[in-house]
């Protein structure tokens, strides 16, 4: 059943969903109340308080989190929820014990593009740092470790590009890099003298090397399921790290890609926080160690370093994308500054002839 209003959240519906999810093996839901509702840019969210009959399991969740569609996003396939529902139905469902938020129900309507996600509520055990301050070191390590565990689970899985997501073929790559060239050219022309001569040369080399940079997406080597928007506020951090772990959420932009692509957005670009270059080395080492611990083989530290630098090159396209989407200048200009700084720090010029 598709939920488009909290008024549809009946005890009968929740009883059936929680029984199917294996968290209500006895008794039933007798009441549900909405304790908080917010309408956000990309969704409407509500926190639910659930009560049960006396014979219900003591482990049944007392609070739930509902995420529903916002009509204004119906025409945007990246925001209408279909991709996130697909993630929970096809990806998360195969990863018990993973660093994800547990999903009890996920429904999407192709006809109306409405959707809902019924998730576990971690409000009492997890938090998010205030923007734009990234989490402190222990929690940052937890975020990177959670990404590595997700990536390791799907690393070079034979279902990638078939049952799970897509890999570029040559025609798709040609179309993609043609868009990159068009948008980068428009961006640099728009900025004109606001870009230094050296920055103009960097973007010229980006265009000239576009098939080398994005051609990696036609290969299966090192491919995995990636988040696609891995900034510090798409993780929930435990109030007590000794009892709970970091969880990853918001999967509207998941896709098949090189695992270090998520890392480069998070670390080399900083997500939506200032970069912390001093932390890159230790966090990359942790990421690689976690991959190996979780079964990845044939992937050396040198392989990771190369893939990370290639992914950092792709960060130069992020301010272009944000500009082309009409985002505020304060957002894309900061991305440009950070991407250029990482290009220099990581010596990315060595990858594209210069």
Spans of all domains in the chain: 6-120, 128-352
Q: Radius of gyration of the chain from Cα atoms?
A: 22
Superfamily of domain 128-352: Aminoglycoside phosphotransferase (APH), C-terminal lobe (3.90.1200.10)
* Residue 98 pLDDT: 86
* Residue 72 pLDDT: 59
* Segment 173-187 mean pLDDT: 97
| Fold topology of 6-120 | Phosphorylase Kinase; domain 1 (3.30.200)
Cα gap 102→25, rounded to integer Å = 17
pLDDT single digits (tens) 321-338: 999 999 999 999 999 999
* Segment 304-310 mean pLDDT: 97
Would you call 204 helix, strand, or coil by DSSP?
helix
Name 149's Cβ contacts closer than 8 Å, sequence gap at least 6: 98, 99, 290, 294
Q: How far is CA 105 from CA 67, 127, 351, in A?
A: 11, 23, 45
Compute φ and ψ for 325, nearest 5 degrees.
Answer: -85, 0
Would you call 349 helix, strand, or coil by DSSP?
helix
pTM: predicted TM-score of the whole model, two decimal places:
0.94
Q: Is 128-352 in the same CATH topology as 6-120? A: no
* Segment 216-221 mean pLDDT: 90
Check whether 49 has a pLDDT greater than 70. yes
């Amino acid at each position: 059943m598709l939920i488009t209003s909290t008024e549809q959240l009946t005890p009968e519906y929740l009883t059936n969903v929680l029984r199917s999810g294996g968290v209500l093996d006895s008794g039933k839901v007798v009441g549900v109340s909405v304790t908080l509702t917010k309408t956000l840019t990309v969704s409407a969210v509500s926190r639910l308080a659930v009560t049960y009959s006396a014979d219900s399991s003591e482990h049944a969740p007392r609070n739930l989190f509902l995420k529903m569609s916002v009509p204004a996003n119906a025409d945007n396939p990246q925001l209408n929820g279909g991709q996130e529902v697909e993630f929970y139905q096809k990806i998360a469902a195969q990863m018990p014990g993973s660093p994800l938020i547990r999903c009890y129900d996920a429904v999407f309507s192709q006809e109306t593009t409405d959707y809902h996600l019924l998730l576990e509520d971690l409000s009492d055990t997890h938090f998010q740092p205030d923007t734009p301050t990234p989490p402190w070191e222990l929690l940052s390590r937890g975020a990177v470790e959670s990404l590595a565990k997700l990536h390791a689970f799907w690393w070079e899985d034979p279902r990638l590009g078939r049952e799970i997501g897509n890999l570029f073929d040559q025609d798709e790559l040609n179309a993609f890099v043609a868009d990159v060239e068009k948008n980068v050219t428009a961006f640099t022309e728009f900025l004109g003298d606001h870009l230094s001569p050296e920055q103009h040369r960097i973007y010229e080399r980006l265009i000239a090397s576009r098939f080398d940079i994005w051609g990696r997406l036609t290969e299966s080597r090192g491919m995995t399921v990636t988040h696609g928007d891995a900034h510090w506020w798409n993780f929930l951090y435990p109030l007590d790290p000794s009892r709970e772990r970091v969880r990853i959420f918001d999967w509207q932009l998941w896709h098949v890609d090189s695992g270090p692509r998520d890392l480069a957005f998070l670390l080399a670009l900083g997500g939506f926080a200032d970069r912390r270059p001093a932390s890159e080395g230790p966090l990359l080492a942790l990421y690689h160690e976690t991959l190996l611990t979780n079964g990845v083989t044939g992937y050396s530290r040198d392989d990771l370093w190369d893939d990370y630098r290639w992914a950092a090159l792709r960060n130069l396209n992020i301010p272009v994308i944000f500009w082309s989407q009409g985002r505020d200048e304060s957002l894309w200009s900061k991305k440009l500054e950070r991407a250029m700084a990482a290009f220099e720090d990581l010596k990315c010029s060595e990858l594209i002839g210069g």
